[in-house]
Structure 1
């Protein structure tokens, strides 16, 4: 009878023991993460017309950033984006953007980043970004993002750009 009772207790408590061993450790905050990606501006609109990337030139950026999550819902981000432009067979670094901003976790892998923008070109503005984790790994994740930069200043017309970004977060 004691053996039978011991076996029942053992087998009924087994799922709890297995779950406890496989449970993810609790996340502590603040939590620091980083990322690197590739940015392709697709189209830029202004009162002077539409400028399409890949038409007569190619522009690519490499956003690199650090995120400091205050909680599971809100954080701060600092992003740095060098941009290279290729036109008429000549390539050069054409701009550098500093992007500080706030992060808001929307759930199910979605994040909103509201960023200020300060460029070495003399332009400034805002860059709202909608980001989605598409592959989540143990130590790194792949993401895709839709940045929508709005820029002003440097005696040029205001612009609105639609871009595509993808990268790895760790």
Structure 2
């Protein structure tokens, strides 16, 4: 299970830069440990109606690398914070393993 946290810096109403770090915890045979950290720099493109696309590169401490396009939608906009849902689509290469493609869902609060 990953625990993403990040910082987005808006350069304009429609564009920004994004950096996310995702430490992962793995449980096997009732033993849990931190198994990997993903460093995710990227560009953020904001559109109308609370939709944002974030194109991220991915560098994992486990030796894999790739890209993670993220589709993000604000579902409740508040005065000081907003609730959002994101769907990342990680694609990974390297480390003498086959290419992997997966998906996920994130729910978060932006300030």
TM > 0.5 fold call: yes
Instruction: Provide structure 1 residue ranges, at least 5 long, that are not aligned to the other structure.
Output: 1-59
Matched, 1:66 2:3: no
Report Cα offsets for 1:75-126 as digits up to 9, x if no partner.
1001111111122211111110000000001210110000000000000000
Detail structure 1 runs of 4+ shifted over 2 Å in the superposition. Answer: none
Q: Give the aligned partner of residue 97 of structure 1.
A: 38
User: Equivalences for 1:80-159 in 2 at 5 Å?
Assistant: 80-159=21-100
Instruction: Provide structure 2 residue ranges, at least 5 long, that are not aligned to the other structure.
Output: none
Q: Counterparts of 2:93 and 2:72 in 1: how far apart (Å)? A: 24
Q: Counterparts of 1:143 and 1:128 in 2: how far apart (Å)? A: 16
User: Equivalences for 1:156-167 in 2 at 5 Å?
Assistant: 156-167=97-108
For CA contacts below 8 A with separation 6 or more, give which structure has more relative contact order. Answer: 1
Q: Counterparts of 1:166 and 1:123 in 2: how far apart (Å)? A: 25
Q: Counterparts of 1:121 and 1:95 in 2: how far apart (Å)? A: 6
Specify which structure has the higher proportion of helix.
1
Report Cα offsets for 1:108-146 as digits up to 9, x if no partner.
011000000000000000000000111111111111110
Q: Give the aligned partner of residue 75 of structure 1.
A: 16
The TM-score with structure 1 as length reference comes to 0.64
